[in-house]
Amino acid sequence: MDSLIFILTLLSFTGFALAKNSPYKEVFAVRPTPRISFILTCSSWIILLLTFGLSLHFYAGYGVLLWCGFMALSILIVSFLLAVKPLYIKWLAPISMLFIVGLLAI
C-alpha cells in the first residue's frame, strides 16, 4: 500500500508541475491550453486528496506523517527531473499508471 500511495502522490505532483507553462513547454515543446492546465490541476488535487484519504484509512494517525513524507519525496523527485532531464517527466505518468494497474491487479 505504501508504494501505491507514493506513486499516486508522485503522479499528482507531476500533474501540478505540468499544469504550469514552463515545465509543460520543456516537456512537450508547446504551451498548454488553459483547458489542459485546468484538467491537470483538478485531477492532481483529486489524486492528492485520494492519497490523503488512503493514508488515513490504512495508517490512521501515522498516515498523515507518512503522507507528508511521500509529498516531500515526490516534490524532490519531480523538481530534480525537471531540472536535469525534463523529458523523463513525459514517461513518468504512463509508467506510474501501469504500475498502479499492476498493483491493483494483485
Alpha carbon of 50 to those of 31, 44, 57, 88, 98: distances in Å? 28, 10, 10, 25, 18
Mean of per-residue pLDDT scores for the chain = 87
What pLDDT is recorded for position 13? 93
Nearest to 27 by CA among 17, 36, 41, 12: 17
Q: Which of the pair, 35 or 96, is modelled with greater confidence?
A: 35
